[in-house]
C-alpha cells in the first residue's frame, strides 16, 4: 500500500539488506513497534526468520496491513491501546535528511506511526539510498485530516505555502485505518521544518503530519556500496 509504483529489483535488494541489518538489533524480550510499508514488510519477513530461530519478542503494529503481515510471518501481535511504551520502533521513511529528520506517510499510516515512535525508547528507520535528501520537501508531505475539517484544513495549509491535493483511492477518497482522509501537500524544499511542524499542529482538525523531526535515533540506509548505519 505504501508505494503505488513497483520498486525495481535493485531497490528491493537494498531495502531488504537494510531491513536485515535493523532487525539484527532486536533482542529477546523486546516489545517492538512496527511501521507500515514495503520496507517494513521486508523487516517482518526477516523477523519471522529470527523468531523461527528462537527469538522471543512481541510486536505492536501501526496498521491493519502490518498486523496481518506480522501474524502471517508467525509474530506475536499485541494490541497497542493498553501499552504505555515500546522498546524499539522500526519503520520506513519517504525522505531522510542528514540530520535523521524524515517525511513519512506516503503509505498513510503516519498518525499511528508517530504515536508509536513517541512511545518508543528508540526508533530506527530503514531506507534505500533513493530516500536520502539534502533537505526535506522533495516530494509530498502527507497530512491526516478529519473529513469534517477537509476544506478548512486545506485552506490553512495552502496559506502556509503548499499546493494541497486530496489523496484518492480510485474514485473515492483514500481513508486511513481511522477512516480519516489524507491531504498530500507540496511545499517544495522546507526551510524551517520545526516552524512548519508547529504551524501544522496548531490547525484544528489536522490529526497527524508526516514530519518526523526528533523521533529517529538511527537509520540503516541501503546504498550500492553497502549498508550505512547513521546515528544522531
Ligand atoms: C507509511 C510510511 C512508510 O514508512 C513510507 O511511506 C515508506 O514506505 P516504503 O517502505 O513502502 O517505501 O511512512 O505511512
How many angstroms does the Cα of residue 7 sit away from the middle of ligand 1? 12
In the residue annotation, 113 being an active-site residue is answered as: yes
**In the predicted model, what is the mean pLDDT of residues 155-176?**
98
pLDDT band at 5 (very low <50, low <70, confident <90, very high): low
The string of pLDDT tens digits covering residues 196-227 is: 999 999 999 999 999 999 999 999 999 999 99
Q: Give the integer Cα–Cα distance in Å for 49 and 34.
A: 16
38 CB under 6 A from ligand 1?
yes
How many angstroms does the Cα of residue 26 sit away from the middle of ligand 1? 20
Q: Which pairs from 155-161 meet CB under 8 Å and 24+ separation?
A: 156/203, 156/206, 157/183, 157/185, 157/200, 157/203, 157/206, 160/187, 160/196, 160/199, 160/200, 161/187, 161/188
Radius of gyration of the chain (CA): 17
Of the residues 95, 113, 144, 215, which is catalytic? Answer: 113
The string of pLDDT tens digits covering residues 70-111 is: 999 999 999 999 999 999 999 999 999 999 999 999 999 999
184 CB under 6 A from ligand 1?
no
- Known binding-site residues for substrate equal 36-39, 91-94, 104-107, 131
- Measuring from atom 5 of ligand 1, which residue has the nearest CA? 93
Instruction: With a cut of 90, say whether residue 1 has pLDDT above it.
Output: no
The residue whose CB lies within 8 Å of the most ligand 1 atoms, and thus the one to mutate among 8, 37, 143, is 37
The string of pLDDT tens digits covering residues 45-81 is: 999 999 999 999 999 999 999 999 999 999 999 999 9
The string of pLDDT tens digits covering residues 121-163 is: 999 999 999 999 999 999 999 999 999 999 999 999 999 999 9
- Measuring from atom 1 of ligand 1, which residue has the nearest CA? 107
Helix, strand, or coil here: 57?
coil
How many angstroms does the Cα of residue 40 sit away from the middle of ligand 1? 8
The ligand 1 atom at the shortest distance from the C-alpha of residue 7 is 12
Q: Residue 207's pLDDT is what?
A: 98
Q: Complex ipTM, two decimals?
A: 0.99
pLDDT band at 6 (very low <50, low <70, confident <90, very high): confident
What are 140's three cell numbers?
A: 509530498
Q: Above pLDDT 70, what percent of the chain?
A: 98
**In the predicted model, what is the mean pLDDT of residues 173-198?**
98
3 CB under 6 A from ligand 1?
yes
Q: Please state the pTM of the whole predicted model.
A: 0.95
How many angstroms does the Cα of residue 171 sit away from the middle of ligand 1? 23
Q: Residue 2's pLDDT is what?
A: 44
Amino acid at each position: 500500500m505504501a508505494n503505488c509504483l513497483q520498486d525495481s529489483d535493485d531497490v528491493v535488494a537494498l531495502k531488504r539488506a537494510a531491513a536485515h541489518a535493523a532487525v539484527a538489533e532486536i533482542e529477546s524480550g523486546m516489545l517492538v513497534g512496527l511501521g507500515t510499508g514495503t520496507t517494513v514488510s521486508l523487516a517482518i519477513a526477516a523477523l519471522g526468520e529470527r523468531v523461527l530461530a528462537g527469538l522471543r519478542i512481541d510486536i505492536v503494529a501501526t496498521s491493519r496491513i502490518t498486523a496481518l503481515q506480522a501474524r502471517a510471518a508467525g509474530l506475536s501481535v499485541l494490541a497497542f491501546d493498553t501499552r504505555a511504551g515500546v522498546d524499539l520502533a522500526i519503520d520506513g521513511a519517504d525522505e531522510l535528511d542528514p540530520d535523521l529528520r524524515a517525511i513519512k506517510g506516503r503509505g498513510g499510516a503516519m498518525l499511528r506511526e508517530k504515536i508509536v515512535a513517541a512511545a518508543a525508547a528508540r526508533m530506527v528507520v530503514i531506507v534505500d539510498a533513493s530516500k536520502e535528501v539534502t533537505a526535506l520537501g522533495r516530494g509530498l508531505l502527507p497530512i491526516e485530516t478529519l473529513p469534517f475539517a477537509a476544506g478548512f484544513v486545506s485552506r490553512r495549509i495552502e496559506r502556509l505555502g503548499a499546493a494541497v491535493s486530496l489523496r484518492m483511492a480510485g474514485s473515492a477518497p483514500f481513508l486511513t485505518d481511522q477512516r480519516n482522509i489524507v491531504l498530500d501537500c507540496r511545499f517544495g524544499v522546507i526551510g524551517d521544518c520545526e516552524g512548519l511542524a508547529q504551524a501544522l499542529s496548531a490547525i484544528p482538525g489536522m490529526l497527524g503530519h508526516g514530519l518526523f523531526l526528533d523521533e529517529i535515533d538511527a537509520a540503516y540506509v541501503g546504498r550500492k556500496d553497502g549498508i550505512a548505519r547513521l546515528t544522531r
